[in-house]
Amino acid sequence: MRDLVYTAFMSLDGVVDSPGGPSEGHRSGGWVFKDIEFVPDAFSLKGDELADTTALMFGRRSYEAFAPTWRDSEDHAAYKELPKYVVSSTLSEDALVDGWGPTRILRSVDDVLELKKSEGGSIFIHGSAELARRLSDAGLIDRYHLLVFPVLLGAGKSLFSQADKDRQVLSLRDSATYSNGIVKLIYDVVG
């Protein structure tokens, strides 16, 4: 079975949206680049992930935000030809971005489960907080790669839902702290 890995920049209070800009509409948008000293080692996880990424998955809104930008970005060139999956009940085939590798729309959590059962390596989810919550609630996330920033935002989308669900136990695979206060946490979901 393929691993489904959620990777994110996250505030200490669990907000994962708008790390690079104000797209979610709250005043703290762009928090990754505000008031935190840039320490290259703190972002090395993103480069390390490239070796493990065999496909990308997005929710509709994250796909619509990332696809036109990442398609032409030198920083994301390694992702260009990777298979991409967009989980959406509303996105149409003609809304897919040309020139950004093979892209398939998955219409349900059941479609994601079928994809996980297929041959291939790890599938990484970027952004897509609502999708991550749905997949976590369904027990489909296998691993979390989190860079936790020393900020409290109050507003914004949380990575974890408030659903009354079965407990999920995580096992720490790797961690590191950096001089700018960022903490890397990599957790496997074990049950």
- What distance in Å separates the CA atoms of residue 166 and residue 163, rounded to the nearest whole number? 9
Condensed to tens digits (0 to 9), the pLDDT of residues 107-121 reads 999 999 999 999 999
Query: Which residue shows structure tokens 């974890």?
Result: 160
Q: Which domains does the chain have, with CATH numbers?
A: 4-172 (3.40.430.10)
pTM greater than 0.95 (yes/no) = no
Cα separation, 161 vs 15, whole angstroms: 11
Task: Report whether pLDDT(160) > 90.
Answer: no
Average pLDDT over residues 67-82: 90
Residue 130's pLDDT is: 92
Count CA within 13 A, CB hemisphere, residue 182.
24
Contacts of 101 (CB under 8 A, 6+ apart): 79, 80, 81, 82, 83, 84
The answer to whether 18 and 31 are in contact (CB under 8 A) is yes
* 123-157 pLDDT per residue, tens: 999 989 899 999 999 999 999 999 999 999 887 88
